[in-house]
Amino acid sequence: MKFHSLNQQAPLVSFREAVIKGIAPDKGLYFPTEMPALGTLFFEGIHELDMEEIAFAAMRPFVKEDLPDKVLKDILKKVLDFDFPLVPLTENIAALELFHGPTMAFKDVGARFMALCLGYFSQQEAAGEVTVLVATSGDTGGAVANGFLGVAGVKVVILYPSGKVSDIQERQLTTLGRNITALEVDGTFDDCQRMVKTAFLDADLKENMQLTSANSINVARWLPQSLYFLFAYKEAKALDKNLVFSVPSGNFGNICAGLVAQKMGMPVAHFVAATNCNDTVPRFMATGQYAPKPSTATISNAMDVGDPSNFVRIRQLFQNRNDRLAKDFSAHSFTDQETKQAIKDIYGSTGYVADPHGAVGYLGLKKYLEAHPDRYGIFLETAHPVKFLDTVESTLGIQLPLPPQIQKVMGKDKQSLHIEGYQALKAFLLEH
């Protein structure tokens, strides 16, 4: 499998090169040149396969020239060492819990898969040391820090906005040490993101080091997310209903990976993208105009994205035809007020505690099912509610017990370096 740049001005590359580069030299996102088909037999017999077998079949076509089968199997075994339960809430709604990994957000799978691929490539001849540079508004930092911890040949530098991530999120990204460095920036997430983008274009840095990104623009972080949808399909298939997925979306990497699973042959009736008030995609679906705007802070902060980077990939999957896209995909946005009410409603009617992101997904699903009551809906629960402790506890008036993964980081001391401005980041990168 080769990967091409969606800006069409860069050469085709292998999976390995796409992972190491992160983004194409023409600044386009890498995209597979074809969509492999898994075949009807695969889906008919999926209930007989375990997670690793499903994952191997789905990932192999994308990576087989660069990862020997045995290496891919080993990587998937390490990545998939926790569960992805499908929890039925009502007769036609279930939550797909993606938060049972080490940092309790769904980004663990992609972060670990990418870390292990890069670790393998950097052991290979001539790859040399790779520096992963990543900006985070909260969840990405922890998942990347955890996934890359101790991976030989890879250094990780995380930029986060000082005082703007939750206490638990900050501990997850600042307490690991070893090959992980956390840089605390006096500014916003947008400032961190801008510094990272500047670094990728900096000729001095390019000459001195191999820099790559661990955001969902990187194919190794993005593609394995399609596995969640296949695992859910395996569980829901016996119901023999038309399935609908509702995905709380920010950068639209996760839902795009779901659409990839559909293109690989997974039977599914529809996808709903649910956003908070950062509604660039819902507005696009309503008007046909793509008009990004600066992000607004909400209680579902991992989705505070004004210009979602993976939406170009979604459009590509539908040959940039809006009519084709609209058949399989719709998008709705919800306010913080509606989100809190949904957290209360879900708890009140089922006893289930949703986090603000999952609650947005639930709202998107409800809206769709009103018009299509015969379908079975699955919304993705992308983070454990404890990661948004203040919001969830104050909305429901209950106390949540801390899971062991979170207790573990609460006792550790924060280690970070304050930096101010791009020159300070550059100096840091050149020194280390």
Ligand X SMILES: *Cc1c(COP(=O)(O)O)cnc(C)c1O
Nearer to ligand X by Cβ, of 67 and 220: the residue is 220
The verdict on 112 binding ligand X (CB under 6 A) reads no
- Per-residue binder mask for ligand X (CB under 6 A), 1-40, x = binder: ----------------------------------------
Q: Which amino acid does the sequence have at 367?
A: K
Q: Is 95 in the site for ligand X (CB under 6 A)?
A: no
CB nearer ligand X, residue 174 or residue 216: 216
Does residue number 357 form part of the binding site for ligand X (CB under 6 A)? yes
Is residue 382 a contact point for ligand X (CB under 6 A)?
yes
Q: Mask 123-142, x = binds ligand X (CB under 6 A)?
A: ----------------x---
Residue 299 C-beta: closest distance to ligand X, Å: 11
Kindly state the smallest distance separating residue 135's Cβ from ligand X, in Å.
13
List the interface residues with ligand X, window 295-314 (CB under 6 A): 302-303
Pick 21 or 384: Cβ nearer ligand X:
384
Token look-up 């996102």 returns 29
237 is catalytic: no
**Contact (CB, 8 A) for 129 and 153:** yes
Instruction: Give the CA angle between residues 134, 135, 141 to the nearest 5°.
Output: 75
Q: Which amino acid is at 191?
A: D
Q: Label residue 233 left, alpha or beta by phi (over 0 means left) and psi (-120 to 50 means alpha).
A: alpha
Q: Which of 64, 73, 78, 107 is catalytic?
A: 107
Cα 295 versus chain centre, distance = 18
Report the amino acid identity of residue 416: S
281 binds ligand X (CB under 6 A): no
| Residue 251 near ligand X by CB under 6 A | yes
Which of residues 108 and 235 has its CB atom nearest to ligand X in the complex?
108
Q: What angle do CA 52, 54, 60 make, to 5 degrees?
A: 90
Residues 221-250 as x/- pattern, contact with ligand X by CB under 6 A: ---------------------------xxx
Single-letter amino acid, residue 406 = I
Name residues whose C-beta falls within 8 Å of residue 174's C-beta, 6 or more positions apart in sequence.
Answer: 182, 414, 415, 416
Rounded to the nearest whole angstrom, what is the least distance from the CB of residue 216 to ligand X in the complex?
5
By beta-carbon proximity to ligand X, the closer residue of 139 and 279 is: 139
DSSP assignment of 258-279, as one string? HHHHHHTT---SEEEEEESS--
Residue from the set 4, 21, 107, 313 that interacts with ligand X by CB under 6 A: 107
How far, in Å, are 123, 130, 232, 318, 346 from residue 152 at the CA level?
A: 8, 10, 33, 39, 44
Task: State how far the alpha carbon of 138 is from the alpha carbons of 320, 334, 406, in Å.
Answer: 32, 21, 15
How many residues bind to ligand X according to rule CB under 6 A?
16
Of 175 and 275, the one with the shorter C-beta distance to ligand X is 275
Torsion 155-161-164-167 (CA) sign: positive
- Under the binding rule (CB under 6 A), the answer on residue 105 touching ligand X is yes
User: Which residues are near ligand X by CB under 6 A?
Assistant: 105, 107, 139, 216, 248-254, 302-303, 357, 382-383
User: Which residues are tagged catalytic?
Assistant: 107
